[in-house]
Structure 1
Amino acid sequence: MKVNIPWVVGLTIAALGAAGLGGQTARVPGSDADPASCAAGSGRITIATGNSTGVYYVMGGALARLVNGHTDVRAGAAETGASVQNIRQLVAGDYDVAFSLADAADAAVRGTSPFGEPQKIRTLGRIYPNYTQIVVRADSGIRTVADFKGKTISTGSPLSGTEAIATKLIDAAGLDELDVNRQRLDLTKTVDGMKDGSIDGLVWSGGLPTSALTDLYTTLGSEDLRMIDPTPLLPEMKKKSAVYDTATIPKATYDLPADVPTIAVPNVLLVRDDMPANLACALTTLVYDNRQALGAAHPAGKDIRVDEADRTAPIRLHPGSERALAGLTSR
């Protein structure tokens, strides 16, 4: 029976302590149920999302509501800087579930930059794709990523998946980081800078549509903005990570003059490798059984597919998720 429990956004570990966990050792979430089952058990979890105007934030809140409404686990969703920060704080124990771009997770399991060693993480499964969205002011003279030279470009929040992709794109275009006046801004500040002209362009990796970009296009209009096609850089990008692929941003997304080819990267839900298998199984089942609810929260959720959930290489599925997906795909 579904229980209507308010979703608490930005729930922090300190807040959990104030709720009654302070001063005592908290039980590992899900550890009170049979590990061979798909029962969630009980306890508290925190989900690391992303910028408040991004898709992770919306989807993370929707996931927290599903957990609260369908299990005895209490969940909260926290606003963060996104992928790289999420992984680091997931491993540190600050969060229990984390949204991440697959390229950042790939670097984490291999221990490559910006991670100094392999991280002990697993995934619950592949979810919807992120689209690389490069938007510039029409008066900036920018038509390719190589034209970023000498321009002021927002490359996303520090330690975000967007920043990682922007850095790789700049390198793939043959530019040095010092060639670009990089601004490490969250999406809200980025859009404000695009509106007032202090920023020439932005790189954003997110689902479609992203509300902050909808606001930008509504304010300035497509005649004052240009969306850049980065696909000529795909061969170089794939040398850095095999997870990149081509995709299309439909013109209806932001009332664009035409469809725009782009580079896409899958998103994954990450957990530590020591999460109880029963909880991982329960969470995985919850996500893929409730794709309609996630799609109602944001259109990106409609792109979550059970038949692609296990396509996460080189990020290994959690054993509990493997069990869940085997049952879901055999239905």
Structure 2
Amino acid sequence: MTSAEVSRRRAMGAGFRAFAGALAAGCSAGPGPVRRLRLATGPEGGPYNAFGKALAQAVAASGSRLEIVPVSTAASVNNLRKLDDGSVELALAMADAAEDAVLGREPFPRPAAVTALARVYVNYTHLLVPATGPVSSVRQLAGRPVAAGAAGSGVQVVAGRVLRAAGLSTGPSSAAPRQLSLAASVSALREGAVDALFWSGGVPTPALSGLARELPVRFLPLDGYVGALRERHGPVYTAVTIPAAVYGLTEPVGTIGVGNYLLARDDVPDDAVRELLQVVFDRWRDLLREVTAGARLEPRFAISTGQVPLHPGAVAHYRSVYG
């Protein structure tokens, strides 16, 4: 049994005992003060920000005692740092960055106090180049400027790992990554300041749909790098397909999928987590509508959080509702 499985079993056992104790005590939500939870999301206009705002609205409409306060950030890595230092109670982050935080791997100096509430949807890694430009493969990015995500973002993590797997991270043949937000990346590609744009998000991402209407673009396939990424970083990476017709594509494009987790500090009360997850599962269609097309949120998917242990309150929720 791996250490992750041991941690998960301990968390599930603790969560079940907490849930059973609550039942024995006749505990219920009942009246009480509003509990305010800050949620680290992402930059304005991005999918994490949209999800956070939708979740705040759904919780407010549910009559819950919770209040969710979305906080705009640079996204995944930045969110995990905020979660660990206590400046937020909840966060959204990509699975690869979340596992790095839990295990204390670079860029995190030590293991972070992070737990998962749910795996909520999958990000698709996009790599766009001008359709009329000279780049038709990842290796042709050698020596070229590449928009590789904002500092502290999950995009920056996956872009760096793809370039490393392609042999473009060091030496004279390396690409030249630039730390740019999604909006700045789109502008830079449109203006010719960069030769390629990395993005990790739902399909379609509105900003990229808009760009594709203005500028003929080519999406480079990345699924050939999934094996190398899994070998080095584990199964957080999967092969997925951007379907035809999205972004005006005439045929599907294979790429890299990375899960997105809704996370919490381990000291967030169990009852707050259970209340929040009730809303998430009641309103998942509304939460994902502006984030990614065609996604579903199911319990067997939601609990698949790899090395990131489930919060005991999340374990209690899943056991109480799904057995």
TM range (shorter): 0.7 to 0.9
Which residue is 1:155 aligned to? 148
| Inter-partner Cα distance in structure 2 for 1:169 and 1:267 | 18
Instruction: After superposition, give the CA deviation of every residue in 1:272-322 in whole Å (9 maximum; x if it has no partner).
Output: 111111111111221112112223444448332222111111110000001
Which amino acid in 1 is paired with 2:219? M
Which amino acid in 2 is paired with 1:316? P
Which residue is 2:53 aligned to? 61
TM-score where L is the length of structure 1: 0.84
Which residue is 1:284 aligned to? 277
Runs of 5+ unmatched residues, structure 2: 1-20
| DSSP-derived class of the 1:130 partner | strand
Going from structure 1 to structure 2, the CA distance change for 1:148 and 1:325 (only over 3 Å counts) comes to same
Which residue is 2:3 aligned to? none
Question: 8 Å contact 2:205–2:291 — kept in the other structure?
Answer: no
| Inter-partner Cα distance in structure 2 for 1:215 and 1:305 | 31
Structure 1 segment 74-153 matched on structure 2, within 5 A: 74-153=67-146
CA RMSD in angstroms, aligned pairs only? 1.9
| DSSP-derived class of the 1:140 partner | coil
| Inter-partner Cα distance in structure 2 for 1:80 and 1:150 | 30
Identity %: 34
Once the 2 structures are TM-superposed, how far is the Cα of residue 143 of structure 1 from its aligned partner?
2.1
Going from structure 1 to structure 2, the CA distance change for 1:81 and 1:266 (only over 3 Å counts) comes to same
Structure 1 segment 1-331 matched on structure 2, within 5 A: 36=22, 39=29, 42-70=34-62, 71-177=64-170, 179-220=174-215, 224-238=216-230, 239-300=232-293, 302-330=295-323
Instruction: After superposition, give the CA deviation of every residue in 1:103-148 in whole Å (9 maximum; x if it has no partner).
Output: 1001111111111111111010111100001111123322222221
Going from structure 1 to structure 2, the CA distance change for 1:139 and 1:279 (only over 3 Å counts) comes to same
Once the 2 structures are TM-superposed, how far is the Cα of residue 177 of structure 1 from its aligned partner?
4.4
Which amino acid in 2 is paired with 1:282? E
Runs of 5+ unmatched residues, structure 1: 1-34
Going from structure 1 to structure 2, the CA distance change for 1:299 and 1:207 (only over 3 Å counts) comes to closer
| DSSP-derived class of the 1:65 partner | helix
| Inter-partner Cα distance in structure 1 for 2:69 and 2:170 | 37
Once the 2 structures are TM-superposed, how far is the Cα of residue 54 of structure 1 from its aligned partner?
1.9
| Inter-partner Cα distance in structure 1 for 2:46 and 2:170 | 25
Going from structure 1 to structure 2, the CA distance change for 1:174 and 1:296 (only over 3 Å counts) comes to closer
| Inter-partner Cα distance in structure 1 for 2:102 and 2:316 | 21
| DSSP-derived class of the 1:75 partner | strand
Which amino acid in 2 is paired with 1:232? G
| Inter-partner Cα distance in structure 2 for 1:72 and 1:227 | 45
